[in-house]
Amino acid sequence: MAPMVAEPSPVLPGALDATTWVVIPLYNEQSVIGAVVTELRQHFEHIVCVDDGSTDGSAETAEAAGARVLRHPHNLGQGAALQTGIAYARSQPTAEFLVTFDADGQHRVVDALAMLHQARDENLGVVFGSRFLDDRTKPGVLKKIVLKTAVAVTNLTTGLTLTDAHNGLRVLRRDAAEAVNLKQDRMAHATEIVVQLGRSGLPWREHPVEVLYTDYSKAKGQSLLNSINILVDLIIN
């Protein structure tokens, strides 16, 4: 099933990155996951998709594209899937870095590569992607209000001063990944992970990333009402 020898990447010089594990929570994204995994596989040897009970054949598509697919027995939520993926990746003896990546194709692989580069160069524990550090990303007004509110809440609860919240693109060094133990199964995990990484005391930076708002990701995007759910999940113990 897996290639016998790791062939050098056809597009870029140099071998595949074998010490970084890309973790993708996956739930009903069959139309896009194949392309996402295929593109990542040109740079990374290890792609882990945690299939969170998809009903549309997402898992098979991801597997065919070359990802290692772990399957939840039923749908538990994105936070739960992310934690499962992190737990699997950090149990691999050769894993030095983890990249968390969204399944819906809104992140760019070049951003992930640049973030990894920064983490290695500056010896950082964590690199958070932020769509507000440059002007490549163009969210709508409402989206911007939701996100900026989430940023304010996150900063208030975590003590970190981030410019973006709920951005799924992150780079975690092994020791940072070991500090993560997400209990929020649903969307509130995106704040919880910042809290836990902040508490770890490891050095962190933000890195500008572009978020591609396709019609597809817009249709699935978070609503204003859902941010109320996130808030309640975070407040109630």
Partner 1 sequence: MWFQIILIASLVGIAIYLIRSTPSPRHLAIRRLLVLVALVAGVVVVVAPGLLTQLASLVGIGRGSDLLFYVFIVAALLYVVNEYKRSVQLARANTQLAREITLTEARLVDRIDALEAELAAANRPRG
User: What are the residues binding partner 1 (CB under 8 A)?
Assistant: 1-2, 50, 68, 70-74, 76-77, 80, 83-84, 87-88, 91, 183, 185, 235-237
User: What distance in Å separates the CA atoms of residue 66 and residue 45, rounded to the nearest whole number?
Assistant: 9
φ and ψ of 111, to 5 deg: -65, -45
Give me the least distance between CB of 19 and partner 1, in Å please.
17
Q: Please answer whether residues 213 and 139 qualify as being in contact, where contact means their C-beta atoms are separated by less than 8 angstroms.
A: yes
Closest C-alpha to 17, from 201, 171, 126: 171
Token couple for 146: 């939701």
Token couple for 49: 């998709």
**Is the CB of 48 or the CB of 171 nearer to partner 1?**
48
Give me the least distance between CB of 137 and partner 1, in Å please.
32
Enumerate residues 6+ apart whose C-beta is below 8 A from 152.
none
The H-or-E segment that residue 46 falls in is strand 44-51
Give me the least distance between CB of 167 and partner 1, in Å please.
23
**Is the CB of 52 or the CB of 164 nearer to partner 1?**
52
DSSP state of 166: S
Give me the least distance between CB of 88 and partner 1, in Å please.
6
User: What distance in Å separates the CA atoms of residue 160 and residue 163, rounded to the nearest whole number?
Assistant: 10
Give me the least distance between CB of 77 and partner 1, in Å please.
8
